[in-house]
Structure 1
């Protein structure tokens, strides 16, 4: 599989029928919203509306992945994480990795992670981090991150970016996370 790379943080990475590219237009953000309504309708429209602005301001890098010309998912690299430990240690966060169900098991998530890890390295970061959910739906992601060299940050579970204390009751939902880091 041939991979063509042009400037790691601003590239369209092409390989066969897969393209990883930066978010460039508001139309692309709207397209993501439209696809999210089909595949993950819990995302509010406002979430997508802020992507391009955050990218242009340099606070976020958004990468879109296309498979055979169809939008297959996205992922972000946040320069400043909402997670306090990453803020303190100045670790950028890979955030909201989404691959639509019909495109899974095609290594598209790995392609997005590779691109964003290169971008974090281009920012001269020694490490990159991410959060992952704890219930069964996140099992494949947990295995992927471990295979790619991510390990626990050692701070325990967080709920809405706040550490969970012993005995504290929290819902088991998409906000209950452990955070992982990887040396670059």
Structure 2
């Protein structure tokens, strides 16, 4: 198995969207066209993994995180990390994370990442812990506000625990 890592290009959006559609996920072409535009503007780096010349997954670097704590501290965020189900637990995710961390290391000593709280995110939770990511100490955030004691929330993809790692 040959894993190749590279930046997103103009041919990728249609391929990525179709690949996720095959596994029943709705990831529209426009999402990746947006990523491409933001990459051209220098706001984001989108990294693609291919296994034997076939799309397998991607990850993004946001230089200016939407998460308030990272934004305030200038911490770049690894964002929207996805590996196709059939390529999980084969080293694809680790290679994507290695590349993202190496790119970030050129500009920052710290990297951040958010992870969902329910079982769909179990593999990611384990991967991040193994890679040395620790909670940032701010608690749970739902893309609008920090969750406080007594709050009632619906646990969905927007509710996350944010983690940080010192890059050495």
Normalising TM by the smaller chain, what interval? over 0.9
SS of residue in 2 equivalent to 1:153: strand
Does residue 24 of structure 2 align to residue 23 of structure 1? no
Deviation at 1:40, TM superposition (A): 5.0
Alpha carbon RMSD of aligned pairs, Å? Answer: 1.2
* Match for residue 124 of structure 2 among 128, 131, 141: 141
The TM-score, its normalising length taken from structure 1, stands at 0.87
**In 1: Cα distance, 2:63 partner to 2:98 partner:** 16
Question: 2:45 maps to what in 1?
Answer: 61
Alignment size in residue pairs: 167
Cα distance between partner residues in 1 of 2:128 and 2:30: 29
What secondary structure sits across from 1:32 in the alignment? helix
CA distance in 2, matches of 1:149, 1:35: 30
Q: Which runs of 5+ in 2 are unaligned?
A: none
Q: Distance in 2 between matches of 1:87 and 1:131?
A: 13
Deviation per residue, 1:48-91 (Å, 9 max, x gap): 22011100100000000011111001000000111000000100
Q: Distance in 1 between matches of 2:144 and 2:24?
A: 22
Find the counterpart in structure 2 of residue 10 from structure 1: none
CA deviation vs aligned residue, 1:114-171 (integer Å, no higher than 9, x gap)? 1010111112x01000000011111111111011010000000011252111111111
Structure 1, unpaired ranges of 5+: 1-15
TM-score (norm 2): 0.94
What does 1:1-184 correspond to in 2, within 5 Å? 17-25=2-10, 27-39=11-23, 41-123=25-107, 125-184=108-167
